[in-house]
Amino acid sequence: MSEIVSLFSMKRIQLWGFTSWFQFLIRYRKTLLGPAWLLVGPIMFIAFLGLLFAQVGGVSRAEFVPHLTIGLIVWTLISGFVIGSTNVFQQAKGQILQGGIDLTDIVMVSVFSTIIHFLHQIVLIVAVFIIFSISVTPYALFSLVGVILLIINGIWLTIFFGIIGARYRDLAEIVQAVMRIAFLATPIIWMPGETGRGGVMGVFLVYNPFHHFLELIRAPLLGDPIAPLSWMVVLTITAIGFILAYFCFSRFAKNLALWV
Amino acid sequence: MNATISTTQPLVHAKNICLHVPIFKPRDRQLLSSPGKFLRDLYFFRTQREIVTILDNISFTLHPGERLGLIGSNGAGKSTLLRVIAGIYRPSSGNLMVNGTAKGLFSITMGMSPEATGLENIYMRGLQMGLKLNEIKKLVPEIVAFSELDDAIESPLNTYSTGMSMRLAFSVSTMVEPDILLLDEWIGTGDARFRDKVKARMDKLVEDSRGLILASHNTALMKNLCTRGLVLSKGKMIFCGEIDEALDIYANDKLIQTKA
């Protein structure tokens, strides 16, 4: 128990927060727009698809654009965790071989960086809600639970994929290939209820874990109910994930300095 | 923290430690034989993963006040042994007990971010070394003064000359005094005047530490500084005892090797 308490001591949260925020700012230092670049890409994507796909899919723009925006921003968070995790320890090679830094610190700095990106992009969701004057009920606060669950899953994922990715460099390639398909298989640029694309893909949605994570966050914001199955899937994945990460860490963490 | 450390217990106690390291080796290829084979071998390189023993059955004890010199030719495992004691690599087998903080000055410029300013790098490294933000804030004036960087401390590291970044790295790395000091080669850096400061700082570090482990090829320095010597050859421990005897054994051993 004291181990877990010391894991979240003030000093370490300071380390994670400052390091990740700092790396984030450094990254954009030489650009003109700075962190605003985090918004430009999604805005172009949403504007283009919002104009085009709303007509193709036969749903109204006021319905499709919020769906697309939340989906895209949450997907960026998910794929940030998944793709970022595969080479998290290789990236920190210098620090690992310097000594003094804990492996859990490296994991948490990576998780914090992804969260910082996400926090910036939330602005877009707010903007879209204002533009389409969507009314928000207190029920929308439930999506915070979804966000927290997703972040918690980001922690075990970074530990687990980080370790396997350090041992087998192939993981990064596999994950990128899979995530590209997963993006299309998840209802982000299409809606499950649609005829056509949505109708074809919708059947397989229950097998898509990303869909369930996304639903926990998106459904409350749009005032839709969350399917009990989504809760079950997400909580099961969280539990299994942490068990996997725990065994992987206790078994292989000692080899990591040799693998990076 | 120091109060809990008993004065009679050994600082470092290593018993039969081994370290096996995986390396990736290309299988037999003839890159130079012909251009066709060259390309073929580059594409189908078929790397082989091999486990190599870098440290083989090392045992020694470092008592408070002792200074141990690691003696051996290049690739004997001196630096690796230091990293094992620092906790970066964990021994594959055997027991290692370290009583107190063991920190080393290994390739001190590693892990600094070139895009960040000198000042920002001080903060980053400080956090990494386990200091709190306000503790670092108190140390900053001293570090800046010691490194003699003046206004350059506000410019990015990639504008620094080699000497300047070495000065900064040294000032930062030595801001925390460890119980057990691990040195991979004695550090002497900068122009003549700065070298005097470095020497004074190094002497103080050695003076204040409760124990020292130094890996070096400098025989005169070893004789001067160390009380005991450990001779390594290809990862195996040949001798551990008085420094003069250890240096003799190494010198004779080298003589035998060159004659053979």
pTM, full prediction: 0.87
Residues of A with CB below 8 A from B88's CB?
Answer: 96-99, 257
Any domain includes A9: no
Instruction: Tell me if B123 and A11 make a contact (CB, 8 A cut-off).
Output: no
Average pLDDT for residues B20-39, to the nearest whole number?
75
Looking at residue B1, what is its pLDDT?
41
pLDDT greater than 50 at residue A232: yes
pLDDT greater than 80 at residue A237: yes
Looking at residue A2, what is its pLDDT?
55
Higher pLDDT among residues B191 and A148, named by residue? A148
Nearest chain A residue (CA) to B156: A26
Tally of domains within chain A: 1
Looking at residue A144, what is its pLDDT?
96
Nearest to B106 among A98, A258, A259 (CB): A98
Candidates B52, B88, B101: best to mutate against A (most CBs of A within 10 A) is B88
d(CA A43, CA A53): 15
Q: Which residues contact A97 (CB under 8 A, 6 or more apart)?
A: A257, A260, B83, B88, B106, B107, B110, B111
Average pLDDT for residues B49-61, to the nearest whole number?
91
Looking at residue B219, what is its pLDDT?
87
Q: Please name which of A53, A41, A44 lies closest in space to residue A184, comparing C-alpha atoms.
A: A53
Instruction: Tell me if A98 and B128 make a contact (CB, 8 A cut-off).
Output: yes
Looking at residue A178, what is its pLDDT?
96
pLDDT (tens digit, 9 = 90+) per residue, B88-108?
A: 999 999 999 998 888 888 877
Average pLDDT for residues B149-166, to the nearest whole number?
89
**A27 Cα to chain B: minimum distance (Å):** 8
- Alpha carbon of residue A232 to chain centroid: 19
Looking at residue B93, what is its pLDDT?
92
Share of chain B above pLDDT 90, in %: 32
Looking at residue B6, what is its pLDDT?
54
Any domain includes A6: no
pLDDT (tens digit, 9 = 90+) per residue, A44-103?
A: 999 999 888 767 767 788 889 999 999 999 999 999 999 999 999 999 888 888 877 889
Looking at residue B16, what is its pLDDT?
92
Q: Please name which of B32, B88, B74 lies closest in space to residue B185, comparing C-alpha atoms.
A: B74
Residues of A with CB below 8 A from B113's CB?
Answer: 23, 26
Tokens of B155: 């410019």
Instruction: Tell me if B89 and A257 make a contact (CB, 8 A cut-off).
Output: yes
Any domain includes A181: yes
Any domain includes A215: yes
Nearest to A100 among B103, B107, B120 (CB): B103
Q: C-alpha distances in angstroms, B115 versus A30, A106, A225, B152? A: 9, 20, 47, 14
Any domain includes A230: yes
Share of chain A above pLDDT 90, in %: 65
d(CA A110, CA A95): 13
Any domain includes A136: yes
Contact B111, A95 (CB under 8 A): yes
pLDDT greater than 90 at residue B41: no
Looking at residue B260, what is its pLDDT?
46
Nearest chain B residue (CA) to A29: B115
CB pairs under 8 A between A and B: 64
Average pLDDT for residues A246-253, to the nearest whole number?
94
Contact A186, A71 (CB under 8 A): yes
Share of chain B above pLDDT 70, in %: 91
Nearest to A14 among B113, B124, B133 (CB): B133
Looking at residue B3, what is its pLDDT?
44
Instruction: Tell me if B88 and A94 make a contact (CB, 8 A cut-off).
Output: no
Candidates A27, A95, A98: best to mutate against B (most CBs of B within 10 A) is A98
Any domain includes A3: no
Please give the residue range of the domain that contains residue A147: 15-259
Average pLDDT for residues B149-177, to the nearest whole number?
89
Q: What is the mean pLDDT of chain B?
A: 85
**Which of the listed ranges A28-37, B81-90, B109-118 does the model predict with the highest average pLDDT?**
B81-90
Average pLDDT for residues A217-244, to the nearest whole number?
95
Instruction: Tell me if B115 and A26 make a contact (CB, 8 A cut-off).
Output: yes
**B170 Cα to chain A: minimum distance (Å):** 13
Looking at residue A127, what is its pLDDT?
96
Helices A103-131/A142-167 angle, 10° precision: 140
Comparing B4-8, B20-24, B139-143, B213-217, the range with the smallest average pLDDT is B4-8
Average pLDDT for residues A116-142, to the nearest whole number?
93
Nearest chain B residue (CA) to A15: B127
Any domain includes A5: no
Task: Give residue ranges of B with CB < 8 Å to any A CB.
Answer: 21-22, 83, 86-90, 103-104, 106-107, 110-111, 113, 115-116, 120, 123-124, 127-130, 132-133
Q: What is the mean pLDDT of chain A?
A: 90
Candidates B89, B176, B180: best to mutate against A (most CBs of A within 10 A) is B89
pLDDT (tens digit, 9 = 90+) per residue, A148-185?
A: 999 999 999 999 999 999 999 999 999 999 999 999 99
Q: How confident is the model at residue B140 (pLDDT cuts 50, 70, 90)?
A: very high
Instruction: Tell me if B128 and A30 make a contact (CB, 8 A cut-off).
Output: no
